[in-house]
Amino acid sequence: MGFHFKLIGYPITHSLSPWIHEQFLERSNLQGTYKIDEFKPEDSFEENIKRLKNEQIDGFNVTVPYKQAIIPFLDILDDTARKMGAVNTVAYKNGKWIGYNTDGVGYVRSLESKYPNLFNNKENRVLVIGAGGAARAIYYALDQYEFSNIDIANRTKATAEGIIEMAHSPRRTEILSLEEAEKNAGSYELIIQTTSVGMKPNQEQAIISSNNIKLNTIVSDIVYQPVLTKFLRDSAKKGAMIHQGHTMLLYQGQYAFEIWTNKKINIGDMDTKLKDILEGR
């Protein structure tokens, strides 16, 4: 009895998702399990998916390297997942397998929980650094939340072009080089670092210098290992307010759990608990 969820991906033995979802189950007083199911690259993905579907589970999360590979095996794709071309959450509802992407909404929820006032003025200027899958999800979600001035900076400018086509008002997005981003960093109210630069074992790197970041700018980094990146540390020294990547994991999970169970769990002290777990590693 109860809910049965899984995580598929490779390698995933160190994933934080089981901890997050077991906390959600406990906090919602629901019975259930959340288990890791590592799909080895040498095994047939199709066979593994067939086996999984026969297990009568209620849903599963999908992580690297299968976020695209899963798509042909689903019955329905939610709009956001279709736009992203990537699925990280699958729910079994009324006999159908439905694919979602919770990255963007999870990110925006985590930001709003810490800095609600930012959302009072959707004209606030936003800079997204990076143009990979995470940048795409965040850009799309901020656009859906009607932020109207979102620029993108990337090492390869051409990659960023593909992202802005999704926007309500793409003409209001400028594409910058990393050098331009560094120079103009003072003209944004929110700067979001979405690349892997600064992640362990390269924790002494930062995507751009924080020299021009102004007082009270919100600086966000989706890297969560370390929980306090060099980019955030340097920006805090300039008087920026920071937003750490581990909170995105929690709110992404919150949204997935809500899709599966219709229950929205209060994150509360899970933020500090997860930070402690990450810092203990």
- Binding residues for ligand ATR, rule: CB under 6 A, are 130-135, 154-156, 159, 194-197
Shortest Å distance, C-beta 155 to ligand ATR: 3
Shortest Å distance, C-beta 176 to ligand ATR: 12
Residue 9 or 130 having the CB closest to ligand ATR: 130
103 in a known ligand binding site: yes
Is 67 one of the annotated active-site residues of the chain? Answer: yes
63 in a known ligand binding site: yes
Q: 135 is written with which tokens?
A: 């940048």
Would you say 244 and 224 are in contact if contact means Cβ atoms under 8 Å apart?
A: yes
C-alpha closest to that of 186 among 224, 217, 229: 217
Residue 149 or 193 having the CB closest to ligand ATR: 193
186 in a known ligand binding site: no
Residue 102 or 261 having the CB closest to ligand ATR: 102
The alpha carbon torsion through 194, 231, 267, 132 (nearest 10 deg) reads 10
- DSSP H helical segments within 59-177, as ranges? 79-84, 103-114, 133-144, 157-164
79 in a known ligand binding site: yes
β-bridge pairing 96-100 and 89-93:
antiparallel
91 in a known ligand binding site: no
The catalytic position among 35, 50, 67, 263 is 67
Shortest Å distance, C-beta 2 to ligand ATR: 33
C-alpha closest to that of 118 among 152, 155, 147, 82: 147
Q: What are phi and psi of 233, to 5 degrees?
A: -60, -50
Would you say 107 and 116 are in contact if contact means Cβ atoms under 8 Å apart?
A: no
Q: What does the alpha-carbon distance between residue 181 and residue 191 come to, in Å, rounded to a whole number? A: 10
Q: Is 265 left (phi over 0), alpha (psi -120 to 50) or beta?
A: beta
Shortest Å distance, C-beta 161 to ligand ATR: 11
Residue 208 or 270 having the CB closest to ligand ATR: 208
Residue nearest to ligand ATR (CB): 132
Please state the residue numbers annotated as binding site: 15-17, 63, 79, 88, 103, 130-134, 222, 224, 245, 252
Please state the residue numbers annotated as binding site for shikimate: 15-17, 63, 88, 103, 224, 252
Q: Which residues are catalytic?
A: 67
